[in-house]
Structure 1
Amino acid sequence: MEILNRYFLEISYKGTSYHGWQTQPNAVAVQEVLNKALEIFFRKPIETLGCGRTDTGVHATQFYLHFDLENEFLAADYLNIIKSLNGLLAYDIAIKNIFKVKRDAHARFDAISRSYQYHIHFNKNPFKTDTSWLVRDQLDIMAMNHAAAILMQYDDFGAFCKSNADNFTNICKITKAEWEVTDEGLIFHITANRFLRNMVRAIVGTLVEVGKRKLKTSDLHLIIQSQNRSTAGASVPACGLFLTSVIYPYIK
């Protein structure tokens, strides 16, 4: 009986051309493309499991996945593996690191924290079309930050979860939620132990409604307490959303 070794891959990708991370029957996903590259390099089918799933058009500057292989590599082999896999992949997916982990390490369930950014710009810019959302309204940033702070007072975010999602619980612990003003627009930073499907885009949509003064800051309390998706704002476009950090207790 073969003893399998478990490896983590750290990757980044621009999600514009993909229907999210997870392989789908009738659309091209990042996982499918990556699995094919791994199969070519290792000359055998490779099944991967990611740290989560991203929606169509969402990007990741840091994303982890694991796979099992009977081969055991030396540290000196890793640079060649990274270089070879990057040579097999298109420009919009990059291998950043590979390393061996314990046999029971799990890319999804072992993650203790995840961080996202959402990017907004206010002036037409062809170079931001796929990576930021163009907003033409003036926004009250102070009100948006006051509303964002309210999120950290709660742990049930059913009001921001996609309808009919298969979550076993809507409980999440948000540890950071704030807007940053940049030279080119705004970046929303949010960190939590876990996220519900479509949660970040729904939160951003609601906070932008506050910024447009269509909702009051205090309305966040009522929306969250309702646990009803229809009370929150519309989900913003996927193009501005980035998964930026995934933290594990055994990765420094």
Structure 2
Amino acid sequence: MKKYKLTIEYDGTDFSGWQIQPKDRTVEGVLEEAFSKVLQQDIDLIGQGRTDAGVHARGQVADVLIPKDKDLEKVLLGVNGLVGDEIQVMHFEEVPEPFHSRFDAIGREYEYTITTRPMPLLRHTTWALRQPVELDILEDCAALLNGEFDFAGFSKFNEDNFTTLCDIQRSLFETEGEVIRYRIRANRFLRNMVRRLVGTMVRVAQGKMSMDDFKTALENPDAEIPTYTAPARGLVLEKVFYKK
């Protein structure tokens, strides 16, 4: 068997997230089924991490073991044909046997897209705001996030978390006309973390929450200050980083 690292793009609108579930349609489940049909044997994909229902990816990473006698380019032509336009394996490379998509990752980058009015053509990949936001306040909120913080107050509880500390290396908003993009890169992310950060920052920028409360929630996760979750559809996993 040879191990390959796959880079996968998908529209998560009609999926119940990445991770296989017993009854629901997931990205991992559809891909594994396609690989198994093409190769005529059971195949196990190992993803770098999960994405929630409705979240998209431009750079999801998974690793897979493929029989040595198979031409992976031909295998992927078959897989991409079976999974349809919602999912595509965009790139592959052979990696050493010890490689692990999740445990070898040193960073991830997400992008969240907001529009300042409903845009029908972007409705599946953006959050359309119905009320105005102060862009300078969004930028101030984002600037506060650079560094290491305990994000327990901005995440959904997960008993598998060995720590809720995350080191943010990049956090900024970029505006182009009626489109606002938030980019965030960190060594790791907690479940719902990016969406809760975005939702809460928007609340602050709409005057529905004070900057002091946002700072307190960031600095003291036990403060029990309510946070707000942005819709899944605006979130895209952009890239996963590994040591060279």
Pairwise TM-score range, normalised by the shorter structure? over 0.9
Which moves more between the two structures, 26-35 or 142-151?
Answer: 142-151
1:9 aligns with 2:6: yes
Quote the residue 2:213 is aligned against: 219
SS of structure 2 residue aligned to 1:112: strand
Matches of 1:132 and 1:176 in 2, distance apart? 21
Quote the residue 1:109 is aligned against: 103
Q: Deviations over 1:71-110 (max 9, x none)?
A: 255xxx4433332221111210011112210100000111
**Equivalent residue pairs, number:** 244
* Match for residue 71 of structure 1 among 68, 85, 88: 68
Quote the residue 2:41 is aligned against: 44
Aligned-residue Cα RMSD (Å) equals 1.6
Matches of 1:243 and 1:220 in 2, distance apart? 24
Quote the residue 1:191 is aligned against: 185
CA contact (8 A) 2:18 2:27 kept: yes
CA contact (8 A) 2:149 2:218 kept: no
* Match for residue 31 of structure 1 among 28, 42, 47: 28
- List aligned pairs for 1:68-147, cutoff 5 A: 68-71=65-68, 77-147=71-141
CA contact (8 A) 1:170 1:196 kept: yes
Q: Which runs of 5+ in 2 are unaligned?
A: none
Q: Which runs of 5+ in 1 are unaligned?
A: none
Deviation at 1:70, TM superposition (A): 3.3
SS of structure 2 residue aligned to 1:155: strand
Deviation at 1:230, TM superposition (A): 4.5
1:57 aligns with 2:51: no
Q: Deviations over 1:35-79 (max 9, x none)?
A: 011001111000111011000000001111011233255xxx443
Percent identity between matched residues is 35
* Match for residue 206 of structure 1 among 200, 217, 223: 200
1:173 aligns with 2:167: yes
Deviation at 1:165, TM superposition (A): 4.7
Matches of 2:90 and 2:39 in 1, distance apart? 18
Matches of 1:226 and 1:44 in 2, distance apart? 50
SS of structure 1 residue aligned to 2:77: helix
- The verdict on how the C-alpha distance between 1:246 and 1:72 changes in structure 2, with shifts beyond 3 A counting, is farther
